[in-house]
Amino acid sequence: MASLAAIGFRAHSGWAAAVAIAGRRDAPAVVTRRRIEMGLAQPYHASVGLELREAQRIVEGSAARAAAMATAALSGLIEDLRGLGHEAAGCGLLLASGRPLPPLERILASHPLLHTAEGEMFREALRTASRACSLPLTAVKERELFTRAAAVLRIPALQIERHVAALGKAIGPPWRQDEKLAAAAAWLALGAR
């Protein structure tokens, strides 16, 4: 019988860190990790100065490509997990502050909003991929990750942080902040099942 695994994501412009964990609820282990590519890194930046209709076409096309690439990558990851004896049970996704985005013309006029919109585009691609692969999604604001994980897992936040940091020793580098936070999001998703 396959053990349950969960996949955590920390998105960036054009890519995401993905970490899959499985094992005991109180001390899971990393099964695999990878970088998921999702296309043009800065489609909003590329649209600055263009006619609004053309900018909209670029943004929408980039969003569709990102979702397709994320879905293909997640499908491949699920198959790889099956080959390792694990069944994907859900995904964890780290979110930003969650403020709604203004209309495109306002985004294109503000450099900080360009970055915000791009981040949201790639998080949405991962949401779409989770739905397409029929995996429940546990989304959490990054700043609330360890507090929420502590409540769901019933493990002190400091213990979760220490275990996540130690996971890197077992799997080896790279084990940067991206992988650590993606692993914690996966652990939260696994605990939510």
Mean pLDDT (the chain, rounded): 94
Question: Mean of the pLDDT values across residues 116-144?
Answer: 96
Are residues 126 and 11 in contact, defined by beta-carbon separation less than 8 angstroms? yes
Q: What is the DSSP string of 27-56?
A: EEEEEEEEEEE-S-S-HHHHHTTS-HHHHH
β-bridge mates for residue 90, sequence order: 6
Question: Mean of the pLDDT values across residues 87-110?
Answer: 92
Q: What is the dihedral of CA 45, 51, 56, 59, to 10 degrees?
A: -20
Q: What distance in Å separates the CA atoms of residue 81 and residue 6, rounded to the nearest whole number?
A: 10
Q: What distance in Å separates the CA atoms of residue 83 and residue 171, rounded to the nearest whole number?
A: 18
Are residues 113 and 102 in contact, defined by beta-carbon separation less than 8 angstroms? yes
Model confidence at 10, pLDDT cuts 50, 70, 90, reads very high
At 59, the amino acid letter reads: V
Res. 98: pLDDT tops 80: no
Res. 161: pLDDT tops 80: yes
Q: pTM here?
A: 0.94
Model confidence at 174, pLDDT cuts 50, 70, 90, reads confident
DSSP class of residue 122?
H
Question: Mean of the pLDDT values across residues 138-155?
Answer: 96
What is the enclosing helix (H) or strand (E) of 116?
Answer: helix 111-132
Q: Which CATH number fits domain 3-192: 3.40.47.10, 3.40.630.30, 3.50.40.10, 3.30.420.10?
A: 3.30.420.10
Q: List pLDDT tens digits, range 125-138.
A: 999 999 999 999 99
Residue with more model confidence, 67 or 172: 67
